[in-house]
């Protein structure tokens, strides 16, 4: 006699895409930590989740391109499937209230289009560099942007991998901080999202590799503060030299 699965298959009748933020100390939460916190929040909020089939059913949640552990973000995305019709604003309020402060639901829209992950083409990162001035960072950044290739190595779970930072670096700007009490350079970069993915720490490694020795020594401490400010479709054909990253949820809003 066949064994009955512990939970009946619950098909989604509606899907929602959520934008959430990792702020403050919660930037140190790993993606797995967030997954656990989010699933607990769904249960506390009473969200009628749809479930997969089989003997190990799980709630219908799809995560997209999570930021590295240790980085803050204002633009993380995921999709959920629910078993009965819900209101997007009600979901946003309920789930946000059930999450700990620092993990915040920014926006919720009903999913009405396909290929959402393909719209996450680029990210804009803000990197605060305590102990370095904008003048110290400007020359290495200019050198890096002038190159056609800049290879760096990073240890991954599959061993040491080589990344071409320059191929992914679409834009780089540096300015002095206006909201920091001490000397601090603010580096803003736009990175194309591809496989393998170039991360902000790869950009910093590339800058160290082209910086003069005294400046390169100052990049290691104190640690940089990294925040993903935007993530979405890439518009490289704008009228200015500033690359525009669009709202990946706009297509779902327009389809209503």
- Rounded distance between C-alpha atoms, residue 165 and residue 201, angstroms: 10
Among 61-75, 152-166, 216-230, which range has the highest average pLDDT?
61-75
What's the confidence (pLDDT) of residue 1? 43
Q: Is the pLDDT of residue 238 over 60?
A: no
Classify 14-111 by CATH class: alpha beta
- Rounded distance between C-alpha atoms, residue 103 and residue 66, angstroms: 13
Burial of 184 (0-12, 13-18, 19+ CB in 10 A): buried
What's the confidence (pLDDT) of residue 8? 63
Q: Are 96 and 104 in contact (CB under 8 A)?
A: yes
Average pLDDT over residues 151-156: 90
Average pLDDT over residues 239-254: 87
User: What does the domain layout of the chain look like in residue ranges?
Assistant: 14-111, 120-245
Q: Helix/strand/coil (H, E, C) string of 28-87?
A: HCCHHHHHHHHHHHHHHHCCCECECCCCCCCECEEEECCCCCCCEEEEEEEEEEECCCCC
Structure confidence by residue, pLDDT tens digits, 198-222? 999 999 999 999 987 655 555 666 7
3-state secondary structure of 160: strand
What's the confidence (pLDDT) of residue 118? 93
3-state secondary structure of 123: strand
> pTM for this structure?
0.90
Q: Which residues pair with 169 in a beta bridge?
A: 191
Question: CA angle 93-21-200, nearest 5°?
Answer: 170
| Residue 6: pLDDT band with limits 50, 70, 90 | low
| Residue 237: pLDDT band with limits 50, 70, 90 | low
Structure confidence by residue, pLDDT tens digits, 43-53? 999 999 999 87
């Amino acid at each position: 006699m066949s064994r009955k699965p512990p939970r009946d298959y619950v098909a989604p009748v509606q899907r929602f895409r959520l934008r959430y933020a990792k702020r403050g100390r919660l930037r140190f939460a790993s993606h797995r930590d967030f997954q656990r916190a989010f699933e607990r929040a769904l249960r506390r909020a009473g969200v009628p989740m749809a479930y997969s089939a089989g003997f190990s059913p799980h709630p219908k949640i799809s995560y997209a391109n999570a930021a590295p552990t240790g980085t803050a973000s204002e633009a993380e995305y995921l999709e959920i499937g629910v078993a009965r019709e819900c209101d997007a604003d009600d979901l946003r309020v309920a789930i946000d209230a059930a999450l700990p402060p620092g993990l915040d639901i920014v926006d919720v829209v009903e999913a009405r289009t396909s290929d959402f992950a393909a719209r996450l083409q680029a990210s804009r990162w803000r990197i605060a560099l305590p102990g370095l001035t904008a003048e110290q960072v400007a020359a290495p950044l200019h050198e890096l942007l002038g190159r056609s290739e800049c290879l760096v190595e990073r240890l991954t779970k599959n061993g040491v991998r080589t990344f071409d930072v320059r191929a992914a670096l679409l834009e780089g700007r540096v300015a002095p901080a206006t909201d920091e009490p001490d000397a601090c350079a603010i580096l803003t970069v736009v990175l194309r999202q591809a496989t393998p993915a170039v991360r902000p720490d790869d950009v910093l490694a590339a800058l160290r590799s082209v910086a003069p020795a005294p400046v390169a020594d100052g990049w290691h401490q104190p640690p940089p503060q990294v925040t993903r400010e935007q993530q979405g479709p890439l518009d490289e054909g704008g009228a200015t030299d500033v690359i525009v990253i669009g709202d990946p949820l706009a297509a779902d809003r327009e389809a209503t």
